[in-house]
Amino acid sequence: MTTRTKSQFIVLLSILFITIINVQAQGILPDVDYSGSLAERSTLTGDWNGHRNEWSKDGIQLDNSLTHVAGFVLDGGTKGPLVSRFFDGGDEETHATWDNVLMLDTEKLGLWSGGLLKIRGEGRVGEGVNHAAGAISPVDVDMLFPLEGYGDAIYDLTEATYMHSFTSKFALVGGILNTLDGDALSLSGSTRGTGQFFNQVFVFNPVQAKTVPYKTLGAGAVFTPTGNPTDLIIATNVMNTEDSSGYNPFSRDEGTTGVVEVNAGSRFFDMPGKHIFGYSYGDATYNNFDDPRIILPGPGGTSKNRSYAAWYSFEQYFHVESEENGKTTGIGLFGRFGFSDGNPNPIEKSYSIGIGGNAPWRARDTFGVGLYYLDMSDAMVVNTLGVEDEKGLELFYNAEITPWLHFTPDFQIINQGLPGTDTAYVLGMRTHVIF
């Protein structure tokens, strides 16, 4: 961690812990009822003879899930000597990922008010078809994480944060940050990648990958001006730019990134919507090709000492069946648009738009169809490799077998920007189990 980042991190945590004993707030975690029949309860393993429900009331929640994906490149994809030089692997692959989350509510535990400790472990085994598809934007986002050791079995502590809510309008957070849940939209999903689109571009704006790491040390503040998070949230973070997936985060201290994101709710024609505005700026030694979230054939590239990106995401429902407990059932339009410096960031602009929501014939199922376009940088190293713009189409249908078991078939057509590739037709099948 750089000296400046350490100072900022220590100041934020000092403010947090100096005032912690004077805070008055209600418990943060809602009580969860894990009971019910096998076909109706929220998790496969249920309430553990009532103990799990009691733990939830006492401020302890332990959630586990497993995701399996089978991917097939039906036609096209990686062809030609340039791409195959860097990528190998078959066009039919399977992999599994698992997610383990422990959350502790300090007030419910009888300690102090306003505190929430969150610890997450993530694992992965097997290989996906991201490289075989030959697309710049990975066609299977779930395969990416943890980022370290592609194709290897890996398990990593990817989050350990403490958040303290001083009031309903202000909180501080610090520790090992995990950024996968940022920029989330109900209609398209987030980078967590367990129930909606497979392709990264629909759940995460790829212009962020240059400056915003997946796992890193950092600290930040969260403002909720009205006290209602569905109205407006303003989040600011300072973090190490270097990703620490698979490493000790205290040993990965290259550069500093600052991020500001504004999440605002809206209602047009009495229909709910959401708008996310974000900006990131990092100072580090960057090159064009140094992140597996952007698949490009080559090492190195043009080195730069700073990079920035800005993004805007939105969703707007145009048909609503119900609005209960902050959850909307219906159909709407979504989009993600991103802009960057174009060098060292190899993606200068990113656009995606689509329609998604709940199936009219079965409200517990969801669907989505989207289009995307990546406008690649004009930097000399990118042009020299013959990398061109990329565009694609994706369709998915997420069927809820039970609340804890979901099955999602998916189909993509990608007109890649990488040289020596043919238009890829990719079929994916995801099974997600909540334990």
Give me the pLDDT at residue 220, please. Answer: 96
Q: Please state which CATH class domain 3-434 belongs to.
A: mainly beta
> Considering only CA atoms, which of 243, 289, 293, 346 is closest in space to residue 141?
293
Across the range 173-197, mean pLDDT stands at: 89
d(CA 196, CA 200): 11
Least confident of 8-22, 298-312, 416-430: 8-22
Residue 12 has pLDDT above 50, yes or no: no
Instruction: Determine the average pLDDT of the residues in 249-267.
Output: 91
343 vs 304, higher pLDDT: 343
* Overall average pLDDT of the 211-220 stretch: 93
Give residue 104's identity as a one-letter amino acid code. Answer: L
pLDDT tens digits along 359-413: 999 989 999 999 999 998 887 566 677 788 999 999 999 999 999 999 999 999 9
Amino acid at 116: L
Backbone angles phi, psi at 257, to 5 degrees: -120, 135
Per-residue pLDDT tens over the stretch 274-302: 999 999 999 877 765 567 688 776 554 55
CA–CA separation, 227 and 222 (whole Å): 11
Higher pLDDT, 246 or 258: 258
pLDDT attached to residue 245 = 85
Q: Closest Cα partner for 76 from 296, 375, 392, 397?
A: 392
Residue 156: predicted pLDDT: 92
Residue 260 pLDDT > 80: yes
pLDDT in tens, 100-109: 999 999 999 9
Closest C-alpha among 111, 216, 213 to residue 164: 111
**What pLDDT score does 23 carry?**
39
- Of all residues in the chain, the percent with pLDDT exceeding 90 is 60
Average pLDDT, integer, range 159-185 = 93
| In the predicted structure, residue 166 carries a pLDDT above the cut 80 | yes
Residues facing 395 on adjacent strands: 369, 411
Q: Higher model confidence: residue 290 or residue 353?
A: 353
Q: Is the per-residue pLDDT at 161 higher than 50? A: yes
Summarised one tens digit per residue, pLDDT across range 45-102 is 999 999 999 999 999 999 999 999 999 999 888 864 444 444 455 567 888 999 999 9
Token digits for 137? 């934007």
CB 207 within 8 A of CB 235: no
Domain boundaries, the chain: 3-434
Q: What is the pLDDT of residue 183?
A: 84
Between CA 66 and CA 73 the distance in angstroms is: 23
Say if residues 182 and 395 touch (Cβ distance below 8 Å). no
Is pLDDT at 4 greater than 70 in this prediction? no
Tell me the residue ranges of DSSP E strands in 241-361.
256-268, 271-286, 304-324, 327-340, 347-359
Q: Rounded CA gap, 19 and 279, in Å?
A: 30
Tell me phi and psi for residue 218, to 5 degrees: -175, 180
How far apart (Å, rounded) are the C-alpha atoms in residues 385 and 419?
A: 8
User: Beta 60-78 vs 347-359: how paired, if at all?
Assistant: unpaired
Q: Which residues contact 286 (CB under 8 A, 6 or more apart)?
A: 210, 303, 304, 305, 306, 307, 344, 345
Residue 122: pLDDT above 70? Answer: yes
How is residue 427 written in tokens? 């079929």
Average pLDDT value for residue range 232-247: 91
Looking up tokens 């077998």 gives 401
- In 3D space, the residue among 158, 156, 174 whose CA is nearest the CA of residue 116 turns out to be 174
State which amino acid sits at residue 194.
T
Alpha-carbon distance of 288 to 296, in angstroms, equals 9
User: What whole-number distance in Å separates Cα of residue 116 and Cα of residue 160?
Assistant: 11
pLDDT at 338 over 70: yes
Question: Of 128, 96, 45, whose CA–CA distance to 432 is shortest?
Answer: 96
